[in-house]
Amino acid sequence: MTARLTARDLTLRYGDRVVSTHLSLDVPDGAFTAVVGPNACGKSTLLRALVRLLRPDTGEVRLDGRQVGGYATKALAKQLGFLPQDPLAPDDIKVRQLVGRGRFPHQSLLALWSRQDEDAVAEAMAAAGVEDLADRPVRELSGGQRQRVWMAMVLAQETPCLLLDEPTSFLDITHQYQLLGLLAELRDAGRTVIAVLHDINQACRFADHLIAMKDGRVVAEGAPGTIVDAALIKDVFDLSSVIIPDPVTGTPMVVPTLEGE
């Protein structure tokens, strides 16, 4: 396994609140990595550190061997596309404009909006299924529509590496599977995907590499089929379960048991 994006021995905190210490991981190139773990265990904090929105107290995040802090903003944004958990749209912006913002690393003060930008935006809107919303104000959209618009913005950025914080949380089940299928296609086309997912069964279905976190630590990582068992689910989520093969894919499927049974 090779990894362009790596974290070593990170201490991550907000003021006095320490979220992670000694956190290390590699994001495997060309693979779909899912990060799972209970609420508040530090998943978003990890992603924010990887895209240098949060500066580690100690330790290093590197891309291609170079600390992310040393990159120019556009140079980094050409490599890493990030979908935050709660992105905030500027007032009154329309869908097409917001998706167009994803093109910023590819533009300069001198260059006009190009045909290439136009094509990237159109392609991203089609992939995220938001073409019909192009002229709607973002703030008028439903949570799920808005989430797909943000996804389109990240796609328009055309980065080899995508970091997505709960990209499916507002989507109905059909759109969840569409989006996960799209991420798998991007992976098949050679992109690196790392996504925080809440549905452990979806994570097991789609991810090549699973990172299970608890209390700011990586508890287990590897192929879902090799690391997911009842003991891990108990440890990470404090949930009793039986693990059966997913009837469609054969990947691990977590079925919670009722308390006391």
Ligand X SMILES: Nc1ncnc2c1ncn2[C@@H]1O[C@H](COP(=O)(O)OP(=O)(O)O)[C@@H](O)[C@H]1O
Which residue ranges make up the site for ligand X (CB under 6 A)? 14, 17, 19, 37, 39-45
Of the pair 96, 209, the CB lying nearest ligand X is at 209
Cα–Cα distance for residue pair 7/50, rounded to 1 Å: 7
Q: Is the CB of 13 or the CB of 101 nearer to ligand X?
A: 13
Please give the residue whose beta carbon sits closest to Mg ion in the complex.
Answer: 44
Minimum CB–partner distance for residue 215 and Mg ion (Å): 14
Residue 196 or 204 with smaller CB distance to Mg ion: 196
- Shortest CB 50 distance to ligand X, Å: 12
Nearer to ligand X, 54 or 98 (CB): 54
From the list Mg ion, ligand X, none, partner contacted by residue 233 (C-beta under 5 to 8 A by kind): none
- Between the CA of residue 132 and those of 95, 119, 232, 261, what are the distances in Å? 10, 16, 43, 49
Token pair belonging to 135: 């002229």
Nearer CB in complex with ligand X: 98/237 = 237
**DSSP summary character for residue 52:** T
Integer Cα distance of 156 and 173 in angstroms: 24
Q: Kindly report the number of other CB atoms within 10 A of residue 18's CB atom.
A: 13
Residue 253 interacts, among Mg ion, ligand X, none and using kind-specific CB cut-offs from 5 to 8 Å, with none
Using CB distances below 5 to 8 A depending on partner kind, what does residue 19 bind out of Mg ion, ligand X, none?
ligand X
CA atoms of 103 and 226, how far apart (whole Å): 39
Q: Phi first, then psi: what are they for 124, rounded to 5°?
A: -65, -40
Residue 126 C-beta: closest distance to ligand X, Å:
30
Number of Cβ within 10 Å of residue 77's Cβ equals 18
Q: Cβ of residue 85: shortest distance to ligand X, in angstroms?
A: 7
Q: What is the 3-state secondary structure (H, E, C) of 140-179?
A: HCCHHHHHHHHHHHHHHCCCCEEEEECCCCCCCHHHHHHH
Alpha carbon separation from 259 to 162, 187, 234, 235 (Å, rounded):
38, 38, 12, 15
Q: Which does 205 bind (CB under 5 to 8 A by kind): ligand X, Mg ion, none?
A: none
* Shortest Cβ 110–ligand X spacing (Å): 37
- Residues in touch with Mg ion (CB under 5 A): 43-44, 85
Shortest separation between residue 61's beta carbon and ligand X, angstroms: 15
Q: Nearer to ligand X by C-beta: 42 or 105?
A: 42
Tokens representing residue 125 in the block = 């809107």
